[in-house]
Each structure stands twice: as structure tokens, then as C-alpha cells.
């Protein structure tokens, strides 16, 4: 395997970004153990920067350091997803409503541009970009609300939202196609400055995500 690390950057930061990408975009599965020797081989980096990177990942909530030793990728439970849904259902429709009332024309253009870029992607070959654009879309709506606390909280939820989307896409690989039409309805309501409509369309979008996530979890349980 080609070495993934370039010496021109801080080794710990590079290892952190490498492992973070592997966790968020499917290279490392939830519950999988991280083995330092293997990471050393993959990256060409000694154990010290790897351990520093793992500490950062633990702080992010992406890995669990076991009391008896060993590190595993965080594995969300159905309760985690339920609690996340409750947070998103409280926050994001409100953000969409205020975005409709407070957005600028430039922000509407950016949301429409994000939609066009999403339409050009082919999942799963563009899975990383699909995740990135999806999160950016929701983040831009929170920013358009002009409420910095909403934006901060959304950013803090990014990690769990990524696991949430991965769980859905494992069972519903065509979900990105239906997401686009749901996003389109949200953008049009924001463009019309119809706050109640934007709130309603965002509520429907997040509720559908949650239903599919729970369906994916039930299927996984049945398969086991």
C-alpha cells in the first residue's frame, strides 16, 4: 500500500485527518478495532503521532479507548440516533425558518449551486463528496439563519450525523436521489422567504431520514 503521509505537514495532524476520513467515509467500520501496527504500516509514521491522533479522535467522539486497552471506532446505538433526531427536529426546521426570513440573495444562489453539484454526483462512487455537500447544504442553511449558536451546535453534531447517513445509505443507496428533491423544496421556500413552508419541508426531510435510519437498524438486527 502506498504511504499516505507527507512529511511537509505535522505528522499527528495528517494521521488524524487520515483516520478521521477512514471512519467517516467507510474505510473503518463502527466497532472496528484500530491496530497501531497496521496504522504504522499504512502511513509510515511511528506510534507517537498515531497515539496523539487517536487522542484527538477520542475527543471528537469518533473512537472509544477501552479501559483494558485497545481502541475501537465509535458504534452508535439506536438510542443515539433517536436522540440525534430529537435534536435535529428541534434545531434544523427552526434554522430553515429563520434562514427564509433572513437570507441574502447570495446565500440562495449558493444553496442552488450546492444542489446542482449534488445532482452531478454518482453514489456510491462519489460517496465522500456526497457526504461533504450534504453536510455543507445543511450548514449553509444554519448560517443563513444568522444565529451563531445554531451553527455551532450543528457543527458539533457533524460526527454523529455522518454515522446516521452511513447507516441509511447502506440499506438505501438511492437515498441521495430523493434527498435532492427534498432539498430543492427547502431551497425554494427559503428563496420565497416563506419561513413556515421552509420549516415544514425541513421537518419532513429530517423525519424521512430518521424513518430510513430506523429501518436500516432493524434490517441490520434481522441480518444478525
CA pair distance 144, 151, nearest whole angstrom: 9
Closest CA to 198 of 96, 113, 120, 84: 96
Instruction: Provide the pLDDT for residue 220.
Output: 67
How many Cα atoms within 13 Å fall on the side-chain side of residue 80?
A: 14
Average pLDDT over residues 195-212: 95
Q: Evaluate whether 21 touches 27 at the Cβ level (below 8 Å).
A: yes
pLDDT the model gives residue 181: 94
The maximal CA–CA distance of the chain, rounded, in angstroms, is: 56
Grid coordinates representing 140 are: 449553509
Confidence of residue 93 (pLDDT cuts 50, 70, 90): very high
User: What's residue 8's pLDDT?
Assistant: 42
What does each C-alpha distance from 111 to 107, 139, 160 come to in angstroms?
A: 6, 10, 23
Domains and CATH numbers, the chain: 11-73 (1.10.10.10), 78-223 (1.20.120.530)
> pTM for the whole thing?
0.82
Interval 160-189: pLDDT, tens: 787 777 777 777 777 888 899 999 999 999
- What rounded mean pLDDT belongs to the chain? 88
Amino acid at each position: 500500500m502506498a504511504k499516505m503521509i507527507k512529511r511537509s505537514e505535522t505528522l499527528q495532524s495528517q494521521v488524524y485527518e487520515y483516520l478521521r476520513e477512514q471512519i467517516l467515509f467507510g474505510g473503518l467500520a463502527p466497532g472496528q478495532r484500530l491496530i497501531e501496527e497496521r496504522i504504522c504500516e499504512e502511513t509510515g509514521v511511528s506510534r507517537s503521532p498515531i497515539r496523539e491522533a487517536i487522542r484527538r479522535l477520542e475527543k471528537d467522539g469518533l473512537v472509544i479507548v477501552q479501559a483494558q486497552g485497545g481502541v475501537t471506532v465509535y458504534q452508535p446505538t439506536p438510542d443515539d440516533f433517536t436522540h440525534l433526531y430529537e435534536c435535529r427536529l428541534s434545531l434544523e426546521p427552526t434554522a430553515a425558518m429563520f434562514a427564509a426570513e433572513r437570507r441574502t440573495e447570495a446565500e440562495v444562489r449558493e444553496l442552488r449551486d450546492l444542489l446542482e453539484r449534488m445532482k452531478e454526483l454518482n453514489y456510491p462512487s462519489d460517496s465522500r463528496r456526497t457526504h461533504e455537500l450534504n453536510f455543507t447544504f445543511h450548514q449553509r442553511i444554519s448560517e443563513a439563519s444568522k444565529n451563531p449558536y445554531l451553527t455551532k451546535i450543528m457543527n458539533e453534531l457533524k460526527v454523529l450525523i455522518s454515522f446516521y447517513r452511513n447507516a441509511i445509505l447502506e440499506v438505501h443507496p438511492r437515498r441521495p436521489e430523493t434527498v435532492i428533491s427534498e432539498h430543492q423544496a427547502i431551497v425554494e421556500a427559503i428563496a420565497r422567504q416563506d419561513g413556515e413552508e421552509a420549516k415544514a419541508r425541513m421537518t419532513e426531510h429530517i423525519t424521512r431520514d430518521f424513518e430510513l435510519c430506523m429501518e436500516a437498524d432493524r434490517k441490520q438486527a434481522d441480518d444478525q
